[in-house]
Chains A and B, each alone.
Chain A
């Protein structure tokens, strides 16, 4: 039964952890924007078991309608189950747009769904726009993020996109909002999944691995020598962070291989990254894509690292480090 001919923008509810849930909320917010252009409704899909929390969450964050399927067999994420369910729903209701977070799950799920629905998909979008005619303009990065491409799906529906977490700002939680909640039964003809989940557990949050450190102090050859390099530990300790290193430094034995940041080493995503005496070879910068705020210190203001930094301090790295440690010790209070 068709509820209405009103256009509809769907957001897939990906909620397994905080990070995934956030991107869903961000998508709802963007969907509200896009919907206003074409007078569409925003619809959240919530599939799983014991999902009331998410129905409320998505209502409070902008959904006009919730399509919910709650069943014990959906407790663990199963790409195959979810594919079958969403394909069925989409075929029945013909949404105009379907947005999915570019989480690991979303990046595996969305292309397969697009294929099943015979429609296009642009991946990892960093921007979305709506034309008055209802064409979704999908801005996706290409070539290592240096270029952006504007992509459209002209003829096929739904228009599908996955979106990088953090691209959009979520609407503040509003417990007063209401939405139409449709609780749907689990279809009986759901195929038996061919992929069996043998083990499934939240990965142990390894305390203090450089991958999840919020502050990272990275050093390169510009630190001059091993003694100077070791002082990065002091700064990291003051800021509650970890020390990272470039490849030449690891080769020189100033730091262990564990500290290697870059293509062949760790990919980091700190809130603040200090980069001392690093020129910024692609082998290193490839690991910095998700660093929020970069402070680079280098004698050479032309260094790549200095150009990609939020703050570029032209100075001798080792000298500046000493001053910074001294000054921070004076200033830091709990």
Chain B
């Protein structure tokens, strides 16, 4: 154990001088750098290492991870489940209370009609194969959840633990995975660290399923803060294609105490989950930001998005006629719930019904809001997050397989475009994660049966360990909290991320590149809590770069992506998704992939199969 000290020890001095960059220069000038000094509470040099071997490694303990682990096990694979938090109590799963189940006995629409309706609302952005898969498999998954007791409690840990314990599936909780490992052009494992024990963990696996959820910029007012696109960025770093970064979740928060997500969602977090049936919407959210932007902000318009008719402004995000006339089609919220999550309460005031063909952004309905939601709403509570199931790894087929052999993703970590670039079917986020998790689990188990175990090279393990522990070993550097706060200031304002314009996105990109090149390399951590924050911050910065580059590239407006300088749909050029990948030279590259096609993979893989 090192002792805490503010004195510049000899070791620190040498490290600073030898480091050569930034802080050494400051120290050389005789400037006091106490603010930057790292005072480690643990000695990174004595941290233990542990290697675990498995067939299928499932990363993430939410709805997708639960089904991935269970189904991979049931298909005969040796499974290991690793979660950043607690099973059923981290990510967004614990807060989703509505789960869609397509029951053909009860629904008026056939599956074909359901898929067609979602596709009309999504303006073509949805992957129809994944939309159909949701409908086909959702009821079976919901019935399994019922057996495990899911619908009997508002807290999910117990029901999630039941099938895991019954199968004796080993599990590591409170372990942050930071790296995917690729050798011979395929995934061979992952690495990370425990936030409780001083331990780096290596997982040698034949296949990995990322059930790591989505992420945001640690925004306030939405339960998203342990999700920082970890899976997406890890996969991107080993060459996987990722997608869906230009879309925006547009949930608001309460104007008063906007950080209080529990309070904003009323008592919904305390409720037991329940099923939803077909209700296809076109929930924007970006329209509220448009109104606030065009009307001069909260001060003038009172309650942004509250839909007082006189506050309506012309123009704004396009909404298909079919989805504009229903009462309450106002944005990310309705009385009741949206996509399994009930919106922040609003103070009760009726909004005149939207007129047929009425121009302008629709307002929010505010009827019947429970007491205590005074002061209106503000935007950005989920800033940094795309639409559920629209961002993440690019699938190459309908079995959740990524562009890297052996690497799978499910739920919010998979860019399946199940719903499209907009929220469509209510409650489909949670059941989509269950459906995809199960399919990924079965597929990964099957793949693993035919593949030889791989021993990861010592040099690679050493390099990864160095990378994981680097912030702990910094003698001086930037705190993750400060870099995150700076990133939030750049990205969250509505004139950057929601009401998009070329010049401001380019300006923001310049700031983000600065953080990427000059601050991320100097992130410091004094303990395991801060080490996790350091890695999360890195991921958020990369995700911000992706979001800006994709938003700059899509020169049109569609669904939850709104460009003030390109406000119209451009069907001639933009019936396409945007894939992002890391080029050989390390730069971020983007490409178009036409809607409803599969990504192609250059197969130079040297995967050895057992005969």
- Is chain B a partner of chain A in the same complex? no
